[in-house]
Amino acid sequence: MRISSDSGRVEGASMVGFGLLLAAIGCFSCLNGAVKWLTQTHDPLMVAWARNIGAFVFMLAVFWPRHRARLFRPVRPIGQVVRGLLLLGSTIFYFTGLSYLEMATGAAIQLTGPLMVTALSGPLLGEKVGWRRWTAVLVGFVGALIVIRPGVDMQWPILFFVASATCSTFYQIATRHLAGHDSAATGSAIAAAVGAIALTPAAPAVWTTPEGALPIALFLGLGALAGGGHFLLMSAYRYAGASTLAPLNYAQLIGAVIVGYILFGDFPDMWTWIGAAIIVGAGLYVGYRERVRAAAQNVSPPMKSN
């Protein structure tokens, strides 16, 4: 009976984690929809500034009462600043890409991030990556090429999404490196602060006053959606492990398609769907191999990685 009770609690916690992650994905999908709407009439830098200012205020409201000044006393301050700049770069490139192209295209390219992390985890983090995961990474990159379609059919703004995914990859690697030194609250707050401070000098040069209640509401909502999404994301990992939640992360593509279709009438073409399916399949296989490898290391002596 005790085993059954423990199992029930684990399953219940996992379901809570699933729900929180889906809510986070919903926030990020709505955030990107608002960003695409705003970048049709406002400079992406202005939108990114508003997003970072709002997220910083949100982080202060959530984390300051518990952490106080410790929130801004990282063990690795330079590392956290670099991490914040990488997130800022990813945000600016992604927002600029959204001003030109549909949301689903950006989401599909962004899904290559975990594959890039796997490819770079060896030289940068000293992790062993075997031939099975390397094969999946290469297959995933083929999927990305199908979405990008380099050549006469390529839409050049898609390179903004590629640059965003690259910055995001190094951001995730930096997050892994700093995870054992600073709390998630400190990392999130400093990343938002770095973005707000870096963009504030540029904001007056790109400023255009929002006209009407809807643009003002969207600008005010950017921070809540970004901060709320990250808070829900962190909360989800308290209830379920990364390996359990990883497959659900690909729901962000579905969220992008739904929001893009409702707000802008955009629907991905056949090649985007094919490329995205290959990327998702490769990412799921990489996640599966990482779970198998972790389980093998926990129950048996170290073995050669696959």
Most confident of 29-38, 174-183, 295-304: 29-38
Which ranges of 152-250 does DSSP label H, i.e. alpha helix?
Answer: 158-178, 184-199, 203-206, 213-239, 242-245
List all residues 6 or more positions away from 12 whose beta carbon is below 8 Å from its beta carbon. none
Residue 8 lies in a domain: no
Q: Could you tell me the pTM of the whole model?
A: 0.88
Q: Dihedral, CA atoms, 16, 260, 28, 139, nearest 10 degrees? A: 80
Residue 153 lies in a domain: yes
Residue 3 lies in a domain: no
Q: Are 224 and 52 in contact (CB under 8 A)?
A: no
Average pLDDT of the residues of the chain: 87
What gap in Å lies between CA 190 and CA 8, rounded to an integer?
A: 37
Residue 2 lies in a domain: no
Residue 131 lies in a domain: yes
pLDDT of residue 243: 66
Q: Give me the number of domains the chain comprises.
A: 1
Burial 151-184 (b: 16+ CB within 10 A, else e): eeeeeeebbbbbbbbbbbbbbbbbbeebeeebbb
Cβ neighbour number for residue 120 with a 10 Å cutoff: 17
Q: Give me the mean pLDDT over the 280-306 stretch.
A: 69
Q: Give me the mean pLDDT over the 213-240 stretch.
A: 88
- In sign, the C-alpha dihedral spanning 156, 147, 138, 21 is positive
Cβ neighbour number for residue 141 with a 10 Å cutoff: 17
Long-range contacts from 40-46, C-beta under 8 angstroms, 24+ separation = 40/99, 41/208, 41/215, 42/206, 42/208, 42/210, 42/215, 43/206, 43/208, 44/92, 44/95, 44/96, 44/98, 44/99, 45/92, 45/199, 45/202, 45/203, 45/206, 46/203, 46/206, 46/207, 46/208
Residue 170 lies in a domain: yes
Burial class (CB in 10 A: 0-12, 13-18, 19+), 260: buried
Comparison of pLDDT for 166 and 4, the residue scoring more: 166
Angle of CA points 177, 47, 87, to nearest 5°: 5
With 70 as the cut, is the pLDDT of residue 278 above it? yes
Q: Give me the mean pLDDT over the 227-245 stretch.
A: 80
Q: Give me the mean pLDDT over the 157-184 stretch.
A: 88
Q: Which range marks the domain in which residue 233 is found? A: 13-299
pLDDT of residue 180: 77
Among the residue ranges 18-32, 36-50, 176-190, the one predicted with the least confidence is: 176-190
Q: Give me the mean pLDDT over the 153-160 stretch.
A: 88
Binned at pLDDT 50, 70 and 90, residue 277 comes out as very high
Comparison of pLDDT for 153 and 132, the residue scoring more: 132
Comparison of pLDDT for 293 and 28, the residue scoring more: 28
Binned at pLDDT 50, 70 and 90, residue 10 comes out as low
Residue 221 lies in a domain: yes
With 60 as the cut, is the pLDDT of residue 171 above it? yes
Per-residue model confidence as pLDDT tens digits over 105-125: 999 999 998 888 888 877 776
What gap in Å lies between CA 281 and CA 17, rounded to an integer?
A: 22
pLDDT of residue 8: 57
Binned at pLDDT 50, 70 and 90, residue 7 comes out as low
Residue 7 lies in a domain: no
pLDDT of residue 299: 47
What gap in Å lies between CA 43 and CA 46, rounded to an integer?
A: 5
